Chains A and B, each alone.
Chain A
Amino acid sequence: MVATLDRNFFTQIGLDSGALTMLGVIVHTFGEASEYRGAVISGDGNEAIFYVSVDPGCAVAGVNIDLAALAGTAPGAAAGGQGPRYVVHPKGYAVFRVAGGPGGYAVSVRKAVEDPEVTAYDTRALQPGDIFSAILMRPGRYSVRNVLGDAKAEVTVSYPGDGKAAYKPPAPEAVELGETIEPAHIRLKPMQGMNFNVRTAARIVIELQEADDGPRAREAATD
């Protein structure tokens, strides 16, 4: 009798939009109709290939691209042109997410017929119009930085309640990321989401600065 808990929920504390995990999602709109060839880049440098047909004739408003599933495909087979193909409308949304596992993926997408050395889009440098959506599990105080700029903010995640009512996270916090991050001080409940609306080139890194281990730990510290 074992609960099916994914260890990665509880062991991955921070987030990096350039190294996506289960706790983050990137939403991108291609805008221009074309055939695109993408690569999922793992932390170990391996690549898995996929294709995106951005087709004004299709009605698909959003397509989920699970990077964990793609990274599990054989790199050789993917490089031979056998990678999966996704279809989305030019104004639709490509949603890059990690359904399971340790993650740490970046995505590089370019037009299939263009010079393969020219990167059209790379999640390590988010573009204006992108959305980076994130969840923080561990209670504590975090720093938020755009490592491609100077914008900074602070996030505080409160400790879970006492279980007197079944907890449901509140609605996500909307955050504007341009030259600055607004709001600069973000207060969240555990598992409450944040939607970063990206207005400038960005790689968002969220790091734990001070852990909150709850009332028991605080009492123990004062004893």
Chain B
Amino acid sequence: MSDITLAASANAFEQIFTNIVQNFTYSKSDTASFGPFSASYAIALHLQDGTLTLNNDNTIDVSDLEIVFDTLTVDVCFTLPGWCVGGFCVVPDPWNGCLVPFPGFCIGAFSICPTIDLSGLVSEVTEFDAGLRVNYYVDPARLPGWSDLDAELHGHPNKWQIFINPTLVDINPIDVPATVANILENAVKNAIDSAIPSWVPGWAVDLLWDIIGPILNLIVDLLGIVGDIADWLESLLDDSFNILSFIETAITDYFAGQYPIYEFEDPYPVLEATPTLIPVKIPIRDLTATVDSQEMVVLANVGA
């Protein structure tokens, strides 16, 4: 029989969980080279919704938890190779070659970095299995010679903390919409447009675009894309940049170690200090936290 028993109903537990979810944010950026192109991304996201279920086997399930990408941009940088057109033969040789060619005209190579902006995309946490984890927190600012009373007076008491401890977090691959092909096409068009000097007359601009041809074909060839552009970008984010893994780790770390659902001081203050008396505090030992389908239960003993 434990000395102390605390309980929080499933509803109260869910409210605490909602507060934790609402406080989660994560951001990251990175860049890497992939042979014919380099890419960089920037993400900033938060969590929303989520339904909590407490189970009799001391586990917690979370469903319908969504990841909202407030920022999700990808810059894809590559070099347009240049185009040489217009060459032809003036004097052929007898062997189907050319003795005198008229040289073609070349448009020089240049680099572009179109931005694909998918901000606002929503993904889903498909699996969120957890238990509870009890942690005894010793404030690193506490000096070795301090008593518990000294630590409290200096605002650095030890604490018991209870965390939701995810055992499995799995999120859906980022669902890049099929319209990303149009987004990329327009981004590349804009990048090329801005690279054409303003003095080039309209007919010459039309001629240049005619020489360049279909932009999507050009992109697919230059970047070595096999298959669908949306699938390619999804693979770039999920597999090459490993974004899903970073997000899963960030969610796990946040719940398991950054935001306790409940914490209290040790020794626990029973009576506040008065002008003539020091506070009365009792040490808490052997703390455990469990859940069943109805509530969270915290048990502890009073130590020596």
Contact = CB atoms under 8 A, between A and B. Distances in A.
Nearest to B106: A4
B100 A214 contact: no
A214 B206 contact: yes
Contacts of B110: 1-4
B196 A5 contact: yes
Contact of A9 (B90, B105, B191, B206): B105
Nearest to B215: A163
Interface in B151-166: none
Contact of B212 (A163, A169, A191, A195): A163
Given A93-B100, A214-B206, A3 B107 contact: yes
Interface in A1-44: 1-7, 9-10, 22, 25, 27
B15 interface: no
Interface residues of A, number: 47
Interface stretch (A46-54, A101-109, A118-126, A154-162): A154-162
Contacts of A153: none
Interface stretch (A79-87, A129-137, A144-152, A179-187): A129-137
A137 B207 contact: yes
A39 B140 CA distance: 88
Contacts of B93: 61
Nearest to B206: A160
Contacts, number: 121
A27 B109 CA distance: 30
A164 interface: yes
B203 A165 contact: no
A165 B218 CA distance: 11
A93 B98 CA distance: 12
Contacts of A6: 105
Given A9-B105, A166-B212, A195-B90, A160 B203 contact: yes
A171 interface: yes
Nearest to A172: B88
A210 interface: no
A137 B99 contact: no
A166 B211 contact: yes
Contacts of B207: 137, 160, 167, 190-191
A4 B79 CA distance: 13
Interface in B102-120: 102-103, 105, 107-112
Contacts of B91: 27, 62, 93, 131
Contact of B196 (A3, A163, A193): A3
A-B interface, 10 closest residue pairs, ranked by CB to CB distance from nearest: A4-B108, A166-B213, A160-B210, A167-B210, A191-B86, A160-B207, A10-B204, A193-B88, A172-B88, A160-B206
Interface of B: 85-86, 88-91, 93, 99-100, 102-103, 105, 107-112, 191, 194-197, 199-204, 206-207, 209-214, 217
